[in-house]
Structure 1
Amino acid sequence: MTAFAQTNPITDICFLVEDIDKASAFYVERLGFKPRRRAPGFADFKGAGVTLALWEIEHIAENTGVSSRRAPPGAHKACAAIELASPEQVDAAYAELKAAGVLFHAPPQDYVWNARCVYFADPDDNLWEIYAWSAGGPTGDIDPQ
């Protein structure tokens, strides 16, 4: 058994969306989320609790190799994310969880949004991301604090 979940809190909930602009407008205009970061195919928002992120299905599929297969209308689509302190910790978590039997889509990789990430799905195909920002931090900050 691994202690991964006891030492690394869930930091982000990411909804996979068809249209980033339409979805972003809904969360800002209808629910009052404050935009935090915007990049091609991606946006995230400040709110109470964890970070809410939106990611276009085609964008995540093109960049990570994760399936772009759509659920039928009415089905829920989400991606939970755990932010770690460093890219090296992503590699360590990958090794730990792989040894525990977690099947990953691919080994950890560095992506164009300046993060090292790795992806896996649970038995019901709910997507999980483990990530850490690379040197220089996140890209696309709207209101840096």
Structure 2
Amino acid sequence: MTAFAQRHAITDICFLVEDIEKASSFYVGCMGFKPRRRAPGFADFSGAGVTLALWEIAHISENTGVSGRKAPAGVHKACAAIELSSPAAVDHAYEELKAAGVAFQGPPQDYGWNARCCYFADPDDNLWELYAWADGGPVGDID
């Protein structure tokens, strides 16, 4: 078994999007990411602890040979998650992002895996989760 993932942190998350302008507007205007780089068909942004990159599906396909096939609307292809400090912080983030125009699947809820969570999608149906562990912390820890 390789130890690759133990030696190298994930530094960037890249979502493949159909319209770079529409997606960029969402991430800057609704979520508060700060623009960092811009090139044809590509943009990346700084956020706390990670670089978020957006790459137009047509552009990556034309330039790298990666498939340009698109999933139907409403099909989630990835999920990025933000762990917050407390269940109350989830409620606060929900209210803040909702006021900024983010459309959530529903309000925060307590789930059987001992977390308070809420979910929304970006304009390309990339799923996001906001969560915090309830008292007692996560369930199912291996270590």
TM-score between the two structures when normalised by the length of structure 2: 0.52
Cα distance in structure 1, aligned partners of 2:55 and 2:12: 12
CA contact (8 A) 1:42 1:54 kept: yes
Bigger relative contact order, structure 1 or 2, given CA contacts below 8 A and separation 6+? Answer: 1
Cα distance in structure 2, aligned partners of 1:69 and 1:26: 23
Q: 2:75 is matched with which residue?
A: 75
Unaligned runs of 5+ in 1: 81-145
Structure 1 runs of 4+ aligned residues shifted over 6 Å read none
- Structure 1 vs Structure 2 CA RMSD: 1.9
State the shift of 1:71 in Å.
Answer: 1.0
In 2 relative to 1, CA 12–49 (structure 1 residues): closer, same or farther, beyond 3 Å? same
TM-score between the two structures when normalised by the length of structure 1: 0.52
CA contact (8 A) 1:34 1:47 kept: yes
Cα distance in structure 1, aligned partners of 2:8 and 2:52: 17
Deviations 1:88-127 (A, max 9, x none): xxxxxxxxxxxxxxxxxxxxxxxxxxxxxxxxxxxxxxxx
Cα distance in structure 2, aligned partners of 1:76 and 1:54: 16
State the shift of 1:75 in Å.
Answer: 1.5
The answer to whether residue 9 in structure 2 is matched with residue 9 in structure 1 is yes
Unaligned runs of 5+ in 2: 81-143
* Larger-Rg structure: 2
